[in-house]
Amino acid sequence: MAERREGTLDDAAIAARLKAELPEWRYEDGWIRRTYKTASWKGTLMVINTVGHLAEAAWHHPDLTASYAWVEVRLMNHAAKGITDKDFALARKIEEVVAWQPGTEGNGLEGTPTDPRFAYIKYDR
């Protein structure tokens, strides 16, 4: 059974979707989570603001924890009291935007310089 109360997903469905759709995310303590490593407080604030903008536009709000060089994003549908399709949709958009590496696309956008003075986020890939 993949679905239960108000469209929440069961543990097996969550695990399968994370593996297929969001391999950098994990399911822990009732939340889907992702920790973004940043190069500095500046990068941390940029990730927080990006996630904040996307969440507000989607009207679906994550919990965030941050420190100097990392941000943890936690998603769970508070109204449904579980993980729903909305959580996956917002997580995919956050991943798309925060993990975007324009310098690898060959489209004329250089991306962030490798010089540590300009470092922003520490990409997983």
**Domain contains 96:** yes
**Domain contains 122:** yes
> Contact 37/122 with Cβ under 8 angstroms?
yes
Residue scoring higher pLDDT (120 or 74): 74
**Domain contains 87:** yes
State how far the Cα of 79 lies from the Cα of 8, in Å rounded to an integer.
Answer: 10
Residue 93 maps to which CATH number? 3.30.1360.20
What's the pLDDT tens digit per position in 66-113?
999 999 999 999 999 999 999 999 999 999 999 998 888 888 888 888
Q: Once rounded to an integer, what is the mean pLDDT over residues 9-13?
A: 97
**Domain contains 5:** no
Helix ranges (H only) for 28-122 are: 41-58, 85-98
Predicted TM-score (pTM) of the model is 0.89
- The domain tally of the chain equals 1
- Percent of the chain past pLDDT 70, that is, above it, reads 94
Domain that holds residue 115: 25-100+110-125
**Domain contains 77:** yes
